[in-house]
Amino acid sequence: MKKLFSGVKPTGKIHLGNYLGALKNWVDLQSKYDCIYSIVDMHALTIDIHPDELRDNSLKLAIDLLALGIDPKKSLLFRQSDVVGHTELAWIFNCLTPVSELERMTQFKDEASKKTGNINAGLLTYPVLQAADILLYRAETVPVGEDQLQHLELTRIIARKFNNRYQRYFPESKPIISPARRVMSLKYPDKKMSKSHGEASYIAIRDDEVTITKKIKKAVTDEQGILNLLELYSYFGQKEKYEEMMVLHKSNKLMSLQLKEELTKAVLEFLKPVQEKIAYYEDNESKVEKILRNGAKKAQRQADQTMAQVKQIVGLK
Ligand code: TYM
């Protein structure tokens, strides 16, 4: 089976954008690929985050991923910092990556423009660590949302640079994009759903019924907003009802209140069993820790193999 890698940052709550844009694919692709999934906690250090919060977020994220359907019998799941090799390979890649390539990254420019103080070097070299995450396992396939396509393009550039300078060793990893390539914000319908635009802009998978009902009720309903809500409904609701509401919308007869009520119902129905599983894993944290330890152990074996070969190739051995 082909190898697949993907990662998610433990910087806050998982929302429906993460789920529909990437994590649903993570779950669905488990029987088709040799899957390696990582909670990329070292990437989270590029933002200001309290150590306790980072630790807590990482465990919660592992719980969320298991509750959404990541199956440790099929896939490896581990914390990035538990495997030695990610940063080591990133250093080797740093020495191959032109600064100009890093400076043109949209995510870097966005993050840098938000900062008032110093812009840390980690923010700039973030995509190099991401390339190392993927290539440490020589993964050919990477399921991500649209916002990560540029980073994947850079991963291919880095692989090519390595292969040209030394010898053909790394694959040129290709993205897999889900139909929901860019899920939009409830509050700012022209922006992607994101943790950084405030609570009201996203639905977290851990949000309770009252919160979800309130967030959808308050969602902006300009033309773009309605289309976004309809799109969300298409993923969680019933096909016939979706088509009915689409017809109504096209003839200007769709009541936004009806759409919001239907969407709330559909999202709550989807999240109910997920939240039950979250509660189960919250009560069984030692099981989750064990899954992460096991995942890291197996990932480490693969990482060691790659690093031994890479060191040989570049002359560090
Ligand atoms: P992160 O943690 O921001 O997001 C995790 C995944 O969710 C997708 N996503 C979305 N998809 C559609 N619509 C949205 N509104 C939306 N918001 C988030 C992201 O595209 C991503 O796939 N740099 C990565 C983490 C990373 C990684 C890697 C990914 C580190 N190393 C190696 C793949 C391979 C990130 O910040 O994702």
- Give the pLDDT of residue 30: 98
Q: How many CB atoms lie within 10 A of CB 190?
A: 11
> Predicted confidence band at 33 (pLDDT cuts at 50, 70, 90)?
very high
Residue nearest to atom 9 of ligand 1 (CA): 18
**Interval between CA 312 and ligand 1 midpoint (Å):** 32
pLDDT in tens, 145-160: 999 999 999 999 999 9
**Interval between CA 306 and ligand 1 midpoint (Å):** 24
- Give the pLDDT of residue 233: 98
- Give the pLDDT of residue 193: 96
**Interval between CA 258 and ligand 1 midpoint (Å):** 32
Mutation to probe ligand 1, out of 3, 29, 144 (largest number of atoms < 8 A from CB):
144
User: How much is the average pLDDT of 119-126?
Assistant: 95
User: Buried b / exposed e across 238-260, counting CB within 10 Å, b at 16+?
Assistant: eeebbeebeeebeeeebeeeebb
Residue nearest to atom 26 of ligand 1 (CA): 7
Residue 117 has pLDDT above 90, yes or no: no
Q: How far apart are CA 68 and CA 159, in angstroms?
A: 32
Q: Which atom of ligand 1 is nearest to the CA of 144?
A: 22
Q: How many CB atoms lie within 10 A of CB 104?
A: 12
Structure-token match 């850079």, residue found? 154
Alpha helices in the chain (DSSP H): 16-18, 24-28, 41-44, 51-68, 86-94, 99-103, 106-114, 121-135, 149-165, 209-217, 223-236, 239-250, 256-283, 285-314
Half-sphere exposure of 32 (CA within 13 A, CB side): 9
Axis crossing angle, helix 239-250 with helix 256-283, rounded to the nearest 10: 150
Query: Any residues with Cβ below 6 Å from ligand 1, and which?
Result: 5-9, 17-18, 21-22, 40, 43, 130, 133-134, 142, 144-145, 147-148, 151, 180, 182-183, 192-194
Residue 128 has pLDDT above 90, yes or no: yes
Domains defined along the chain, listed by start: 3-181+285-314 (3.40.50.620), 195-280 (1.10.240.10)
